[in-house]
């Protein structure tokens, strides 16, 4: 699973047993020595430092420092964070069932989960949380507010909210329950019902059963002829669930993945244990740079066994396995213990953390993919070439479409979100996601909504170039000669920039439609709306509708 510390192990070499034993003894001495030094430092600082220290906070900073020197997936989990950790593996927690985000000094509801307590109590996206159980939450962050909202099922939490359009705050009583986040938020049909579509967003407990049941229903009720498994943005999760998801499409007793660690006794092979749901149905798997870990095991296995066509953008590149160990006082440490290898014997890990790990750099920068010439080639079952490291390379690559600066600015400044909130107040219902479209009059209303709001403070490429030109001209003493021309260009750019909201109308409209649809049809509706303009899904349908092309892609090259 992708790290929670950041957005984004080295394999021990073969050594003689005597050398390994010596190394272990030497390490043990160094560990004992430095632990004693560490303990003595803590004691001295606690006894003699000029100010009082918080022992928990002080020592935790030391633990975090150790974790940050390893890889971004090795992490300390104190007792107070166990519930959050369990939620990532089970998809379950006690609470109200809503996503939240910060807006100004307050936290607002960004999305209530359909059918859960927040939704049943009538909470809406855009509702601002003022108080929780009588306690003001002004200037509290989302983590603090989330802890206040969570609690044992069947306990009540009282919320004071401010809703746009209402003159007075509203009190809501919400009865907490066990929230089970759906691993398959949507499945349905595309392509005149010939193609099934299953969206899997996380590899939590029993997600494989959800995928299998979705496929069975699509086959029995809709008589689908092919299927798309969408793993885009899926950060991974439980390894055994990845094996079971792959098992839906591949035979029993087939190796999906193997793991190799520092000690040979930890090496393990994971094979499918169940009868598959369908071995023959044409299959495409969608991935992107947000598909990691378990997502890469499934897509990589499907690719290595030539069971289906992988479409999209290169995946994240996480080929490491984590194990959770108890360390006392109900705390745990999640640490990297092995690398995993796909059926072709390749490991798709992108970064070699044995050469050092810069936490700040990893957080601020996207990993750079190295050229294929630097990687080792492997063969799929039928002899197609695949590569190790750098994630899963799709069989068909879809070019990434980057939103315009104006669109990014409108989304980041919450203006798309806020307009959708206003739209929901004025409209009790809208057509189904596939039929909903914002009219030109409604888009003009959005433009009016933007009046007086600051959203054009982004920098265009042209402005960057002009800025560099100004700097170079100043260094070369041309600034006086070019001053008038540069100022004229700047003025023209600024005037043209104000027209971006019209220039990029079609793109901005789509983002507005995505957000508005979610207010009425929740996450399911948003996915249905997104599929209307999904290039990867369209390419998948094109391949699945063309048996000759599908077969040719999966044949030896």
| Catalytic center residues | 293, 304, 318
**Residue 282 CB neighbours (<10 A):** 23
Cα 72 to Cα 318: distance, rounded to the nearest angstrom:
11
The backbone region for 191, taken as left when phi is positive above 0, alpha when psi lies in -120 to 50, beta otherwise, is: left
**Residue 475 CB neighbours (<10 A):** 9
DSSP string across 140-181:
--HHHHHHHH---TT-EEEEEEE-TT-SS-EEEEEE-EEEE-
- Strand pairing class (128-132; 106-112): antiparallel
Cα 457 to Cα 492: distance, rounded to the nearest angstrom:
15
Burial category of 205 from C-beta neighbours within 10 Å (exposed 0-12, middle 13-18, buried 19 and up): middle
- Strand pairing class (128-132; 156-162): antiparallel
Bridge partners, residue 100, by sequence: 109
Query: In what helix (H) or strand (E) does residue 410 lie, and over which residues does it extend?
Result: helix 405-412
131 in Cβ contact with 184 (< 8 Å): no
**Residue 373 CB neighbours (<10 A):** 6
Q: Quick check: helix, strand or coil at residue 289? A: coil
Select from 518, 438, 470 the least CA-distant residue to 186: 518
Length of the chain, in residues? 557
69 CB contacts (<8 Å, ≥6 apart)? 357
Cα 187 to Cα 51: distance, rounded to the nearest angstrom:
59
Cα 5 to Cα 73: distance, rounded to the nearest angstrom:
8
Q: Quick check: helix, strand or coil at residue 111? A: strand
């Amino acid at each position: 699973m992708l790290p929670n510390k950041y957005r984004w192990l080295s394999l021990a070499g073969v050594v003689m047993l005597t050398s390994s034993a010596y190394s272990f003894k030497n390490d043990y001495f160094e560990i004992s020595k430095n632990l004693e030094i560490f303990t003595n430092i803590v004691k001295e600082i606690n006894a003699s430092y000029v100010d009082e220290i918080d022992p928990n906070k002080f020592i935790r900073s030391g633990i975090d420092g150790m974790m940050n020197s390893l890889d971004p997936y090795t992490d300390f989990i104190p007792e107070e964070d166990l519930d959050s950790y369990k939620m990532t593996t089970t998809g379950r927690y006690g609470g109200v069932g809503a996503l939240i985000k910060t807006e100004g000094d307050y936290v607002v509801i960004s999305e209530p989960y359909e059918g859960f307590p927040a939704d049943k109590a009538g909470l809406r996206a855009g509702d601002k949380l003022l108080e929780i159980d009588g306690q003001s939450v002004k200037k509290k962050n989302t983590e603090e507010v989330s802890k206040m909202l969570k609690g044992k099922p069947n306990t009540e939490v009282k919320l004071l909210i401010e809703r746009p359009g209402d003159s007075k705050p509203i009190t809501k009583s919400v009865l907490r329950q066990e929230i089970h986040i759906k691993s398959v938020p949507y499945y349905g049909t595309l392509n005149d019902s010939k193609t099934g579509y299953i969206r899997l967003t996380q590899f939590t407990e029993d997600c494989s059963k959800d995928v299998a049941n979705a496929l069975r229903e699509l086959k029995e009720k809709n008589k689908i002829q092919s299927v798309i498994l969408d793993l885009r943005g899926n950060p991974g999760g439980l390894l055994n669930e990845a094996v079971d998801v792959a098992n839906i499409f591949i035979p029993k007793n087939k190796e999906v993945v193997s793991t190799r660690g520092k000690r040979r006794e930890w090496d393990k092979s994971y094979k499918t244990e169940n009868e598959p749901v369908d071995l023959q149905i044409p299959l495409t798997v969608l991935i992107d740079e947000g598909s990691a870990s378990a997502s890469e095991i499934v897509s990589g296995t499907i690719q290595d066994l030539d069971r289906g066509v992988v479409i999209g953008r290169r995946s994240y590149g996480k080929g490491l396995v984590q194990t959770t160990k108890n360390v006392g006082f109900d705390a745990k440490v999640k640490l990297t213990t092995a690398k995993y290898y796909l059926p072709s014997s390749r490991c798709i890990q992108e970064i070699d953390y044995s050469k050092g790990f810069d936490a700040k750099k990893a957080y601020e920068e996207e990993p750079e993919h190295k050229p294929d010439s630097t990687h080792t080639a492997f063969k799929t079952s039928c002899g197609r070439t695949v590569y190790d490291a750098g994630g899963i390379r799709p069989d068909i690559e879809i070019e990434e479409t980057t939103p315009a600066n104006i669109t990014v600015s409108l989304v980041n400044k919450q203006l798309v979100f806020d307009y959708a909130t206003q739209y929901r107040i004025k409209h009790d219902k809208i057509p189904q996601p596939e039929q909903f479209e914002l009219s030109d009059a409604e888009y003009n209303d959005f433009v009016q909504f933007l009046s007086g709001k600051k959203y054009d403070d982004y920098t265009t490429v042209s402005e960057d170039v002009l800025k560099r030109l100004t700097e170079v001209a100043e260094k070369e003493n041309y600034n006086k000669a070019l001053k008038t021309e540069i100022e004229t260009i700047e003025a023209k750019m600024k005037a043209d920039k104000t027209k971006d909201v019209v220039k990029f109308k079609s793109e901005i409209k789509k983002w507005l439609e995505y957000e508005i649809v979610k207010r009425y049809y929740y996450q399911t509706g948003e996915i249905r709306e997104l599929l209307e303009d999904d290039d990867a899904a369209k390419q998948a349908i094109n391949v699945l509708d063309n048996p000759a092309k599908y077969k040719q892609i999966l044949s030896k090259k």
